[in-house]
Amino acid sequence: MKLALAGAGAFGRKHLDGIADIDDVEVVCVIDPVAEASRAVADEYGIARHGTELGDALALDEVDAVILATPTPLHASQAIACLEAGKHVEVEIPLADSLADAEAVLAAQERAGLVAMVGHTRRFNPSHQWVHQRIAAGELSIQQMDVQTFFFRRTNTNALGQPRSWTDHLLWHHAAHTVDLFAYQVGEEIVAANVLEGPHHPELGIAMDMSIQMKTSSGAILTLSLSFNNDGPFGTFFRYIGDTGTYIARYDDLVTGRDEVIDVSRVDVSMNGIELQDREFVAAIREGREPNGSVRQVFSCYEWLHRLEQQLPG
């Protein structure tokens, strides 16, 4: 299978590293609007072609599918372009930064009948998979998910500390991970949600702190705190409070509420959540099936992000 990658930044590289461990898959083209970036990544990873326009990759007959690791405002339009060009597509989270755009991608996928998947990586991290398996087996019922998403982003930089040409967003990007995971893990419909935000940054124009609460039909609740102001360990930390145990997930690692390490190394074929996500994308294409994390499956997350946005002033 031959793939094209759009976006030569931090997460584009993470996908290239993951794909390198998947048999019979080759990235044949890398696209980035900065010519030097696409050339450098192509040289580093031994990729045959590079360029600055997504259309150049979509015009290649040999390209079966595209991974989009591009700025959030481009996700929806680029995903639609891929589908209309007859290419399967995996879009990095978030699918879109508005409900209307998310709806447009879903409609394009339904017209094309191709695999369209969103990078909701938490579904694939071995730590969260371990919890999901316990819930599916009836061994655990979640009472509350208490989640902290903390970064230090008082300047407009990416995960590598490089300047960004677009502004990240706590609600439409970072909250999307947890809102989707909450519904996925509990396996129930969300019936209530509330959001509060702190002051907006004078230059970035976005809220730097946010608090979200959600509730499912059975009464399970989510408490989510997000901050770009936190000066400390970066990342998202998940505490699952259940009826038979408490578990804390930190990316691909898992401990009990008493910090006892749980071995999740045998949960899947890899400990790399992004690699596992890419494996699912490739497998769904090969098997002609809907992937875990399809646009359809995660769509309700974006409906709830829209509802939350309506609660915010202005």
> Is the same domain home to 225 and 94?
no
Q: What does the DSSP 8-state code read for residue 49? A: E
Q: Within the chain, where are the H helices?
A: 10-19, 35-45, 54-58, 75-84, 99-112, 126-136, 175-186, 273-287, 295-311
d(CA 43, CA 40): 5
> Is the same domain home to 104 and 190?
no
Residue 299 maps to a domain:
no
Examine the pLDDT at 155 and tell me if it is beyond 90: no
> Is the same domain home to 243 and 280?
no
Residue 303 maps to a domain:
no
Q: Which of 263, 32, 224 is nearest to 145 (CA)?
A: 224
Look at the block and give the residue holding tokens 């390198």: 20
d(CA 67, CA 278): 9
Taken in order 161, 163, 169, 174, is the CA torsion positive or negative?
negative
> Is the same domain home to 96 and 207?
no
Identify the CATH number of the domain in which residue 190 sits: 3.30.360.10
pLDDT for the residue 66:
98
pLDDT for the residue 188:
94
Contact 106, 284 (CB under 8 A): no
The percentage of residues in the chain with a pLDDT greater than 90, rounded to a whole number, is: 87
Identify the CATH number of the domain in which residue 40 sits: 3.40.50.720
> Is the same domain home to 143 and 113?
no
> Is the same domain home to 19 and 88?
yes
Residue 313 maps to a domain:
no
> Is the same domain home to 18 and 91?
yes
Q: Which of 254, 186, 185 is nearest to 246 (CA)?
A: 254
> Is the same domain home to 204 and 284?
no
Residue 300 maps to a domain:
no
For residue 199, cis peptide bond before it (omega within 30 degrees of 0): no
Sheet holding 116-119, edge to edge: 49-51, 26-31, 2-6, 65-68, 88-92, 116-119
Residue 308 maps to a domain:
no
Residue 314 maps to a domain:
no
CB atoms within 10 A of CB 49: 17
Cβ neighbours for 300, distance < 8 A, ≥ 6 positions apart: 183, 190
> Is the same domain home to 195 and 85?
no
Residue 302 maps to a domain:
no
Q: How far apart are the first and last CA of the chain?
A: 46
Examine the pLDDT at 152 and tell me if it is beyond 80: no
Q: What does the DSSP 8-state code read for residue 127? A: H
pLDDT for the residue 151:
84
Examine the pLDDT at 110 and tell me if it is beyond 60: yes
Which tens digits make up the pLDDT trace of 220-244? Answer: 999 999 999 988 888 899 999 999 9
Domain count along the chain: 2
Q: Map residue 27 onto helix, strand or coil.
A: strand
> Is the same domain home to 279 and 244?
no
Residue 309 maps to a domain:
no
Look at the block and give the residue holding tokens 């044949």: 28
> Is the same domain home to 134 and 114?
no
For the entire predicted model, the pTM comes to 0.94
Range of the domain at 212: 125-267
Confidence band (pLDDT; 50, 70, 90) for 137? very high
> Is the same domain home to 229 and 283?
no
pLDDT for the residue 205:
83
pLDDT for the residue 169:
85
| Interstrand relation of 190-197 and 209-216 (parallel, antiparallel or unpaired) | antiparallel
